[in-house]
Amino acid sequence: MTTLFNLAGKVALITGATSGIGTQQAYALSAAGAAVVLLGRREDRLHKVCEDLHQLGREASYVQADLINESELDRVVQQCLSFHYKVDILCNTAGVNLRQHADDVSVEGWDQTLALNLKIPFFLAQKLVPNMRERGWGKIINVASLQSERAFANGIAYGASKGGVSQLTRAMAEAWSVDGINCNAIAPGFFPTELTQAVFDQEELSGKLAEQTAIGRNGELSDLDGVCVFLASHASDYVTGQVIYIDGGFTAK
Ligand SMILES: NC(=O)c1ccc[n+]([C@@H]2O[C@H](COP(=O)([O-])OP(=O)(O)OC[C@H]3O[C@@H](n4cnc5c(N)ncnc54)[C@H](OP(=O)(O)O)[C@@H]3O)[C@@H](O)[C@H]2O)c1
């Protein structure tokens, strides 16, 4: 039982680790014993989170990269593997929401959103799967959204990408679970991060969203810790292809 959620000896790569949910995942997974490799564009943030984790006595390193540039992926994977020669857990957390009205969605905005939110999670995983396969065990955690199921204002490209993430998660699970590599997605409700600042800046709107949950409040980043450790650990070895809503009951109402 004690080993169920224990991540000692595991290595987790977390994209989007410079802020919000990705940073939270880095703290949660490292608290459970994993060595973490952080990925993002802002090197000062990567350095700061890494330093802070070291202060806490945890193992952390980072790779600076712009994932929109898919030609970077080989270098990213090589650099990640140079730290511990393996990655057991991949958190595909980097994401973007440009919030363009349907009338104003640009081809560039669409391409950027679909690339970062949907395409890169697959191709990064595809490049890491051979390494996970060597040990017959791996965990891939994607990030879906309420917009995987629901339409929200100004969510054309974002909603399309997150709807795609739900199906991508099932398809990745279908392809790789037989090799011991499980793939699931978390679907957060509303959590205060840089990505949702526009929502939380509007008190009336964020209050309305909180009222739409069953619990009666929006999320706090620590609400995501349990599910993250669960999906990264042996505790979820028979869970794959699932999209798990951590939304305070938003979608239940
Ligand atoms: N917050 C919520 O309520 C909520 C709800 C549902 C789903 N989500 C999803 O959760 C994930 C994390 O979002 P968040 O809320 O934590 O937002 P956030 O704080 O804005 O984090 C986004 C992360 O993505 C990284 N990123 C953006 N563009 C990148 C690029 N081109 N290359 C590499 N990294 C890039 C950012 O790092 P750099 O800027 O340093 O590159 C940052 O670490 C996203 O997939 C989002 O869709 C969030």
164 Cβ inside 6 Å of ligand 1: no
Question: Tell me, what's the pLDDT at 244?
Answer: 98
CB 191 within 8 A of CB 143: no
Query: pLDDT of 7-40, one tens digit each?
Result: 999 999 999 999 999 999 999 999 999 999 999 9
The fraction of the chain above a pLDDT of 90, given in percent, is 98
pLDDT for 43-72, tens place per residue?
Answer: 999 999 999 999 999 999 999 999 998 999
Residues whose CB is less than 8 angstroms from the CB of residue 230 and which lie 6 or more positions away in sequence, other chains included: 5, 236
Q: What mean pLDDT value characterizes the chain? A: 97
Tokens of 75: 């270098």
- Nearest to 232, CA basis, from 80, 77, 25, 83: 25
Task: Tell whether the model's pLDDT for residue 217 goes beyond 70.
Answer: yes
pLDDT > 70: percent of the chain: 99
pLDDT band at 2 (very low <50, low <70, confident <90, very high): low
Closest residue (by CA) to atom 48 of ligand 1? 188
Q: Which tokens is 56 given?
A: 């806490």
Domain ranges for the chain = 11-246
Query: What is the model's pTM?
Result: 0.98
**pLDDT the model gives residue 249:** 98
**Residue 185 CA to its chain's centroid (Å):** 8
| CB of residue 159 inside a 6 A radius of ligand 1 | no
Contact at 8 Å (CB) between 220 and 200?
no
Give tens-digit pLDDT for 139-195: 999 999 999 999 999 999 999 999 999 999 999 999 999 999 999 999 999 999 999
In short, whether 25's Cβ falls inside 6 Å of ligand 1 is: no
DSSP string for 151-205: --TT-HHHHHHHHHHHHHHHHHHHHHGGGTEEEEEEEE----SSTTHHHHTSHHH
C-beta pairs of 151-156 under 8 Å, 24+ apart in sequence: 153/101, 154/99, 154/100, 154/101, 154/102, 155/97, 155/99, 156/100, 156/102, 156/105, 156/110
Predicted confidence at residue 142, as pLDDT, reads 99
Which of 13, 14, 19, 154 has the most ligand 1 atoms within 8 A of CB, as the residue to mutate? 19
Q: How far is the CA of 97 from the centre of ligand 1 (A)?
A: 8
pLDDT of residue 1 exceeding 90, the answer is no
155 pocket-lining for ligand 1 (C-beta < 6 Å): no
Q: What's the pLDDT score for residue 102?
A: 97
143 in contact with ligand 1, CB cutoff 6 A: yes
Statement: 11-246 belongs to CATH 1.20.1560.10: no
Indicate if the alpha-carbon torsion angle 111, 116, 227, 180 is positive or negative. positive
- Which pLDDT does position 114 carry in this prediction? 98
Distance CA 219, CA 217 (A): 7
How far lies 211's CA from each of 145, 197, 216, in Å? 18, 18, 5
Tell me, in angstroms, the distance from the centre of ligand 1 to residue 17's CA. 8
Looking from the CA of residue 196, the nearest atom of ligand 1 is 1
- Closest C-alpha residue for ligand 1 atom 19: 20
95 lines ligand 1 (CB under 6 A): yes
Give CA–CA dist 156/12, Å, rounded.
Answer: 31
Instruction: Identify the residue whose tokens are 């080989």.
Output: 74
Catalytic residue among 27, 158, 238, 245: 158
Instruction: Report CA(192)–ligand 1 centroid distance (Å).
Output: 12
The burial of 182, by beta-carbon neighbours within 10 Å (0-12 exposed, 13-18 middle, 19 or more buried), is given as buried
Is 245 known to be catalytic?
A: no
Is the C-beta atom of 193 inside 6 A of ligand 1?
Answer: yes
Pocket perturbation via mutation, ligand 1, pick of 69, 162, 193 by most ligand atoms within 8 A of CB: 193
pLDDT exceeds 90 at position 204: yes
